[in-house]
Amino acid sequence: MRDLASEFFRRHPELSLAALGAADNARAMDLNPLGCKAEFFAAESHPELVALYRESNALAFPGELSLPGWVLSDLYLLPGAIGLLTCEARVLDIPVRKRLGLRPDDRAIAAAYLGAPTIHPGTFIGVSLLSLVPRVLAGAWVKALTLRMLGASRLRGVAQWQNPSVRVHTRMGPMRVVSSVPGTHEFKAKSFVYESDLSDEATWSSAMQRRYEGPIDAKIQATDHDELGRVLARAEQGERILIIPPGLDAQGRVLLRFEPS
Ligand SMILES: CC(C)(COP(=O)(O)OP(=O)(O)OC[C@H]1O[C@@H](n2cnc3c(N)ncnc32)[C@H](O)[C@@H]1OP(=O)(O)O)[C@@H](O)C(=O)NCCC(=O)NCCS
C-alpha cells in the first residue's frame, strides 16, 4: 500500500493530503499515513477551509442530503477530522470552480471523506465521500488515506446500490452486506449498510489494484430493489454475503458472493 500511495502522489503532484478537524484531534491521528505527509488544519483557525468544505460537500450532495452546519461542527469536526485531497482551483473543471467562486490559484478541495468514530474501538462509519476531480481515483485514495490517518481496522457505511461509489468502496476490498439502513435515511429504500475489513493489508492492496479475484455467485441489477431486498433479509438473518470487487459491472449489476456458513 505504501508503494501504491507514493505512486498515486507521483502521478498527481497537483494533489496534497490534509485533514480538517478540531485542533485537539491532531495528536490522535497518524499524519504520515502510508508514508504520505498530511497537513493538519485546525478547524478553529481555518474557518475559510471549513466553509469551502461545506460548499464542496453541497455540490456533491445537493438537496435532501445537504449537510447542516451544526452536523458539520458537532459530528464531523469535533469528534475527529475530515480527510482531504486539496489542490489549486485551476485543477477543477471550470464550471465547478466558478460555482465555488474560486480563482485559479485559490486552494480547492479535490476530494474528501469522513470516518466517524464509533463505540467499537477501531471501527469507523464512512460518510460523505466526495470527489470533484473524476477519473484519477481521488475518491479511492482520499478514502484509503483517511482511514489510515484514523487507524481504522473496520469500516461500516451506507451506500446506494446504483451509485458508482460502490466501485470506489470495493477498492478497499470485498464489502460485506450487513443490513438495510436503520432509521429514516432519505435514501433508505435504495441503500444498504456494508462493512469492510481493513485489517488485511494484502487484500486491501490487491483490491486497490483491481487484482482481487473471487468467485461470483449472483449478478443482480442495482435497480432491482425487490431482489436486493431479499439479499438484505438473508444478510440480516446472519448469512455472510459479499460484494465482490469491482462491485458493479458494466451492465449495472451488483456482483455478489454467498459464503457458506
Ligand atoms: C462517487 C465519487 C466520490 C467518485 O469520484 P471519483 O473517485 O473521482 O471517481 P472516478 O472517476 O475515479 O471513478 C471511480 C469508479 O467509478 C466508476 N464510475 C464513475 N462514474 C461512473 C458512472 N457514471 N457510471 C458507472 N461507473 C462510474 C469509474 O469507472 C471508476 O471505476 P473503477 O474504480 O473500477 O475504475 C464522486 O462521483 C462523487 O463525489 N459523487 C457524488 C457524491 C456521492 O454520491 N458519494 C458517494 C456516497 S456513498
CA of 170 to the centre of ligand 1 (A): 11
Q: Are residues 117 and 9 in the same domain?
A: yes
Q: Are residues 165 and 38 in the same domain?
A: no
Q: Are residues 111 and 188 in the same domain?
A: no
For ligand 1, is residue 135 a contact (CB within 6 Å)? yes
For ligand 1, is residue 209 a contact (CB within 6 Å)? no
Task: Count structural domains, the chain.
Answer: 2
Model confidence, pTM: 0.97
CA of 121 to the centre of ligand 1 (A): 29
For ligand 1, is residue 130 a contact (CB within 6 Å)? yes
Cis? peptide before 95, omega within 30° of 0: no
Ligand 1 atom with least separation from CA of 130: 39
Answer whether residue 126 is part of any domain: yes
Interhelix angle 138-150/201-208, rounded to 10 degrees, is 160
| Alpha-carbon dihedral 128, 134, 140, 190, rounded to 10 degrees | 50
Can you name the residues that pair with 109 across neighbouring β-strands? 86
Q: Are residues 120 and 15 in the same domain?
A: yes
Ligand 1 atom with least separation from CA of 131: 39
| 94 three-state secondary structure | helix
Q: Are residues 131 and 222 in the same domain?
A: no
Q: How many CA atoms lie within 13 A of 22 on its CB side?
A: 12
Q: Are residues 158 and 127 in the same domain?
A: no
| 39 three-state secondary structure | strand
For ligand 1, is residue 252 a contact (CB within 6 Å)? no
Answer whether residue 83 is part of any domain: yes
Chosen domain end from 77, 107, 139? 139
- Model confidence pLDDT, tens digit, residues 197-206: 999 999 999 9
d(CA 211, CA 209): 5
Mean pLDDT in each 10-residue stretch from start to end of the chain (261 residues)? Answer: 98 98 98 98 98 98 95 98 98 97 98 98 98 97 98 98 96 98 92 97 96 93 97 97 97 96 72
CA of 45 to the centre of ligand 1 (A): 32
Q: Nearest 5°: CA angle at 166, between 127 and 25? A: 25
Chosen domain end from 107, 139, 171? 139
Q: Tell me, what's the pLDDT at 63?
A: 92
- Model confidence pLDDT, tens digit, residues 84-141: 999 999 999 999 999 999 999 999 999 999 999 999 999 999 999 999 999 999 999 9
Q: Are residues 164 and 60 in the same domain?
A: no
Q: Are residues 188 and 246 in the same domain?
A: yes
Q: Are residues 82 and 182 in the same domain?
A: no
For ligand 1, is residue 35 a contact (CB within 6 Å)? no
For ligand 1, is residue 56 a contact (CB within 6 Å)? no
Maximum pairwise Cα distance, the chain: 56
Write out the residue range of the structural domain in which residue 39 sits: 1-139
CA of 107 to the centre of ligand 1 (A): 23
Q: Which residue has a Cα nearest atom 14 of ligand 1? A: 168
Answer whether residue 27 is part of any domain: yes
Q: Are residues 1 and 121 in the same domain?
A: yes
Q: Tell me, what's the pLDDT at 214?
A: 85
Q: Tell me, what's the pLDDT at 212?
A: 85
Answer whether residue 144 is part of any domain: no
Chosen domain end from 139, 163, 182? 139
Q: Are residues 15 and 81 in the same domain?
A: yes
Q: Are residues 222 and 159 in the same domain?
A: yes
Q: Which of 92, 129, 172 to mutate to test the pocket of ligand 1 (most atoms within 8 A of CB)?
A: 129
